[in-house]
Amino acid sequence: MNDIGAFFLWDIFPYIALASFFIGIIVRFARNRFSITAKSSELLEKKQLMVGSILFHVGIIFVFFGHVVGVLIPKAFTDWLGIPNEMYHIGALVMGGLAGFMALAGMIILTYRRFNNKRVFITSSFSDLVVDLSLLIMIVLGLSASLIEGPFFHPEFNYRLNLSVWARQIFMLKPDFHLMQQVPPVFQIHVICGFLIFAFFPYTRLIHALTLPWQYLFRSPEVYRRKPSIRGDQYRG
């Protein structure tokens, strides 16, 4: 890829995707907020939904925060803490691998359920089908990059020296596309797919992730009192 294409892909496209993400969320909440919650298909099939949903959501939450830590914490900080680079990578591979395979197992179950169960498939929108396949491909790419391409084909690659630096530069509004040209292909595709998901996030059922009832974590506990039985009242009387 020439420098013009690389410049657009790594210095311009991320901001297009993020603009679509934030503007889409604002517009959808303002104009059609009652369409935000995801349609439940629990009445059509429950067992696979419960197992797949729990595995996927637990796994993807750990994967997400693992990505955040990997991007936001620079190598210099862990070096200052005295954490060897090898130990950091082993911990990231083990924890990220476990979370990734958990998310993958859940997504395989959910995707199989959506395409194989006739009632679920018929009631699914085109967007639902695309979202399931996109998330499945995204997870497979992430695991392939971390567990196959990196260790076996590019053992010298250290994402903290280029990919993570580039990602932090996005927030500083000065990304350097040359850094991403040093990144192996599967990692690049994984990043592109991630930004595509961000771009289409507000226009799919994925937006229901923003409607989680966070208020239940901070509200005061409710006290329930048992209603006295009639027999007990008569006995005390």
Contact 191, 9 (CB under 8 A): no
The pLDDT of residue 199 is above 70 = yes
**Of 73, 141, 133, nearest in space to 107 by CA:** 133
Contact 162, 182 (CB under 8 A): yes
Query: Whole domain around residue 107: which residue ranges?
Result: 3-236
178 has binding-site annotation: no
Predicted local distance difference test score (pLDDT) of residue 64: 93
Q: How many domains does the chain have?
A: 1
| Rounded distance between C-alpha atoms, residue 103 and residue 189, angstroms | 19
Is pLDDT larger for residue 60 or for residue 1?
A: 60
pLDDT digits (tens, 9 = 90+) for 92-131: 889 999 999 999 999 999 999 999 999 999 999 999 999 9
What does the angle CA 65 – CA 147 – CA 140 come to, to the nearest 5 degrees? Answer: 70
**Burial label, 104 (beta-carbon count in 10 A; 0-12, 13-18, 19+):** buried
Mean of the pLDDT values across residues 183-195?
96
Does 190 appear as a known binding residue? Answer: yes
Q: Does 208 show up as a binding residue in the annotation? A: yes
Residue 154 known to bind ligand: no
pLDDT tens digits, 36-82? 666 667 777 889 999 999 999 999 999 999 999 888 888 888 888 88
**Which pTM value belongs to this model?**
0.83
Q: What is the CATH number of the domain that holds 176?
A: 1.20.950.20
